[in-house]
Structure 1
Amino acid sequence: MIICLEFSHYDVKSSNTISAKDFALSMVASADINHINKLLDRVDNLGNDPDLGVRITFEEFKSFADLRRRLEPLAMAIFNYGKVNGLLTKQDLKRAAHHVCGVDLTDRVVNIIFHVFDTNHDGNLSSEEFVRALQR
């Protein structure tokens, strides 16, 4: 299973958890090359936020991977769950992932997603940017 291999790549101490930074790196690894530097800067800033100094379990990692595999229905749902202007709140993302994809995202995972992809720090995700980053 490729998910297990990718997780174990980051879990060098075999602790069954990975750092928030490693999780964020795995998210942006396949992002649009035109935005990669900006996203990597956001990943580097993870250490500056004490609330994001968390460890991610394999189950959380796998949930996000499952969400990525169901990106097409998620993208359609995002536009239904998001605000009219195409912006998603944390609750919108959790609701869409659960109801459409059957994936439960923990608050830790959602906080990291928002830290990396909420580039203007307004508490919302641009649904278009988020989906585009995950599609690659």
Structure 2
Amino acid sequence: LKEKELRKVLDSTPSFRSGNKALFRSLDQNGIISYSEYIFLLTLMTKSKSSFKIAFLMFDKDDNERIDRDEFLLKSEEEVKKQDTTLLLHFFGIKGNKKLSFEEFRNFYQNLQEEIMEIEFHEFARGKSTISPMDFARLVLRYTVVHKDDYHKYINRVKERSSPDDMGVSLRQWAGFSLFLNNLEEFSTAVRLYANADMPVSPPEFSRAVQTTIGEPLDPYVVSLIYRIFDANDDQTLSYPEFLAVMNDRLHRGLKGRLDKPWGWGPFKKCVINELSRY
């Protein structure tokens, strides 16, 4: 972008509002963020409420429960400070002298998670109030790096075990699943005994573990769909190691696995072909 175009984009940055749950949708393509800010946003998208405080303390160097622009940048190089981004202007204003309280930072974090959750849901709902079991499975497996053969195996299970009478997954039910996903680390701790012993777990045991983790039950229909995807033998049990591995991949949107993969035109073409073969 030329300087004039960049300035025009930055000038359209909305001011910080605690209740803005459509920030990125309102920006559309008119926003500029750095790579480090992209990683920062991705990290916030995968954090549970219990671990969020640590993310805030990382920035709050002077322990005054407020974050200023310099603390957010984490670096003191002048060339870094000179480059404004949409996120910097949104947080700290045009002059860069505003500060974020813990409450404001937490509101941004919660709004970000809710906005991404809604965007994902509406993309697959296509104007309807629910998403089909098949699309739920595709959404659950999205961003994972499972082999395409395994991917089709999961999808075919759901297809075979579903019927036209299925009511589909509502936004509220998807929100519950997203909350569970963002607390996956705590959930994996709660079921470590099963995972270490490779013990299959029934839906009631699964539901109890989820409620222990997030403080509220996961919708029974969503639990049944999870078992349609991951219950290999249709015996109402699933293997936790396999389930946790795929869900951890989904939570981090495949980033961990992809960073270890080779770069270049060849791997890029292979990746595109692999992704297209899923549909």
User: TM-score per shorter chain, which class?
Assistant: 0.7 to 0.9
2:142 corresponds to 1:38: no
2:178 to 65, 76, 89: 65
TM-score, length of structure 2 as denominator length: 0.44
1:108 Cα deviation from its structure 2 partner = 0.8
CA contact (8 A) 1:39 1:116 kept: yes
- Give the secondary-structure state (helix, strand or coil) at the position aligned to 2:131: strand
Aligned partners of 2:192, 2:160: CA distance in 1, in Å? 29
TM score, norm. by length of structure 1: 0.85
Question: Unaligned 5+ residue runs, structure 1?
Answer: none
Cα drift, residue 65 of structure 1: 0.9
Deviation, 1:54, is 2.0
- 8 A Cα contact 1:81 1:96, kept in partner: no
From 212, 231, 244, the counterpart of 1:118: 231
Distance in 2 of aligned mates of 1:37 and 1:73:
29
Q: Which residue of 2 aligns with 1:107?
A: 220
Letter in 2 for 1:8: H
Q: Do 2:230 and 2:243's aligned partners in 1 also have CA atoms closer than 8 Å?
A: yes
2:137 maps to which of 8, 11, 24: 24
Q: CA–CA distance in 1 between the matches of 2:218 and 2:136?
A: 13
Which residue is 1:3 aligned to?
117
Matched AA of 2:239: S
Q: Could you say which structure has the greater relative contact order, defined with CA pairs below 8 angstroms and 6 or more residues apart?
A: 1
Q: Within 1, Cα distance between the matches of 2:223 and 2:157?
A: 15
From the two aligned structures, give the one with the greater strand fraction.
Answer: 1
CA RMSD of aligned residues (A): 2.2
> Paired residues, what number?
133
Please give the alpha-carbon distance, in whole angstroms, between the structure 2 residues aligned to 1:126 and 1:56. Answer: 24
Structure 2: which 5+ residue stretches go unaligned?
A: 1-114, 250-279
* Residue pair 2:231, 2:237 contacting (<8 A) in 1 also: yes
> Partners in 2 of 1:24 and 1:100 — Cα distance?
23
Contact 2:187 2:213 in 1 (8 A): yes
- TM-superposed CA distance for 1:46, in Å, is 4.0
- What is the rounded CA distance, in whole Å, between the counterparts of 2:216 and 2:126 in structure 1? 26
Cα offset for 1:3? 0.5
